[in-house]
A and B are shown apart, each in its own frame.
Chain A
Amino acid sequence: DVKVTQSSRYLVKRTGEKVFLECVQDMDHENMFWYRQDPGLGLRLIYFSYDVKMKEKGDIPEGYSVSREKKERFSLILESASTNQTSMYLCASSRGQGVRNTEAFFGQGTRLTVV
Chain B
Amino acid sequence: ILNVEQSPQSLHVQEGDSTNFTCSFPSSNFYALHWYRWETAKSPEALFVMTLNGDEKKKGRISATLNTKEGYSYLYIKGSQPEDSATYLCAFRFNKFYFGSGTKLNVKP
Contacts and interface: CB of A to CB of B under 8 A. Distances in A.
A112 interface: no
Contact of A101 (B42, B44, B49, B95): B49
A70 interface: no
A35 B32 CA distance: 19
A1 to B, nearest CB: 12
A43 B9 CA distance: 14
Contacts of A90: 43-44
Given A43-B89, A108-B42, A109-B43, A101 B97 contact: no
Interface residues of A, number: 27
Interface of A: 4, 33, 35, 40-45, 48, 56, 58-59, 90, 92, 94, 97, 100-109
Given A42-B99, A104-B91, 13 more contacts: A33-B96, A40-B9, A43-B99, A44-B99, A101-B32, A101-B49, A101-B51, A103-B34, A103-B49, A104-B97, A105-B46, A106-B45, A107-B43
